[in-house]
């Protein structure tokens, strides 16, 4: 079923943040920061992959993501939904099902044997492709997926994620300069507000997280 009517954007953000907290996808630790894939420290970490194990929350968030994309980009804006390897694949499949569209996925690098493909599934020249991922930090990792899609002769002007960090000002510029619009359900600010409302973490932890969110680059620089 294609969803067409859902809460306004701010309510979707509040509910989405609450669901991520409910399943334990959100981790805050200002005293012993996490190390991100970039090698930089962070007092925050989110694991959207856990969502696939919670069918009620998974279904609701995929409805939210589908209607957000259709509201922002149009109800007939796409011909194909592509997931980025690996975290984006299940979410792309679920969104494609809701939008009644073909689904494909994009490898991080060529397969290395056989057809040496980066695109799995059927993607054809001229198709308008929506790239679906679990999250985005500064937007940079999306560009390789977008380029692989465009190499087929298809177009890719939109990417949809469940979670956007929302603290790096270059994110939308990086994507926008590449001709890609970002659609997301919630950010760290929404999660912080939900965590405070729920009492999910102690005040010291939440204050430490807020300090990071207000100037993440300075926070990271101060910690090497």
Please state, as a whole number, how many other Cβ atoms lie within 10 Å of the Cβ of residue 211: 14
pLDDT at 213 over 90: yes
Q: 108 labelled as ligand-binding? A: yes
The pLDDT mean for the chain works out to 93
Q: 83 labelled as ligand-binding? A: no
Q: 173 labelled as ligand-binding? A: no
Q: 174 labelled as ligand-binding? A: no
- pTM score of the predicted model: 0.94
Q: Residues 172-202: pLDDT tens digits?
A: 999 999 999 999 999 999 999 999 999 999 9
Question: Which structural domains are found in the chain, ordered by start?
Answer: 9-219 (3.40.50.2020)
pLDDT at 2 over 90: no
Q: 65 labelled as ligand-binding? A: no
pLDDT at 132 over 80: yes
Distance CA 59, CA 80 (A): 20
Question: Quick check: 217 and 39 in contact, CB under 8 A?
Answer: no
**Mean per-residue pLDDT for 104-119?**
82
- Report residue 23: phi and psi, to 5°: -95, 5
Positive or negative torsion for Cα 41, 44, 49, 53 = positive
Q: 138 labelled as ligand-binding? A: yes
Using CB atoms within 10 Å of the CB of residue 93, give its burial: 0 to 12 exposed, 13 to 18 middle, 19+ buried: middle
Q: 134 labelled as ligand-binding? A: yes
Q: 139 labelled as ligand-binding? A: yes
Question: Quick check: 116 and 132 in contact, CB under 8 A?
Answer: no
Question: Quick check: 152 and 119 in contact, CB under 8 A?
Answer: yes
**Per-residue confidence at 39, pLDDT binned at 50, 70, 90?**
confident
């Amino acid at each position: 079923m294609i969803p067409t009517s859902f809460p306004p954007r701010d309510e979707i953000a509040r509910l989405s943040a609450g669901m991520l907290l409910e399943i334990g996808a959100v981790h805050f630790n200002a005293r012993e920061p996490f190390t991100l894939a970039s090698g930089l420290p962070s007092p925050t970490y989110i694991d959207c992959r856990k969502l696939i194990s919670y069918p009620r929350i998974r279904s609701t968030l995929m409805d939210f993501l589908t209607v957000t994309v259709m509201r922002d980009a149009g109800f007939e804006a796409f011909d194909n939904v592509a997931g980025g390897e690996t975290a984006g694949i299940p979410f792309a499949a679920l969104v494609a099902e809701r939008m009644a569209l073909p689904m494909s996925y994009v490898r991080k690098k060529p397969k290395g044997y056989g057809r040496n493909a980066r695109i799995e599934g059927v993607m054809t020249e001229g198709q308008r492709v929506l790239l679906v991922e679990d999250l985005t930090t500064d937007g940079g990792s999306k560009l390789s997926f977008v380029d692989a899609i465009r190499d087929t002769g298809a177009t890719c002007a939109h990417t949809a994620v469940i979670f956007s960090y929302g603290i790096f000002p270059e994110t939308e510029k990086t994507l926008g300069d590449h001709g890609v619009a970002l659609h997301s359900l919630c950010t760290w600010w929404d999660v912080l507000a939900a965590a405070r409302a729920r009492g999910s973490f102690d005040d010291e932890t939440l204050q430490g997280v807020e300090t990071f969110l207000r100037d993440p680059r300075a926070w990271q620089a101060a910690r090497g």
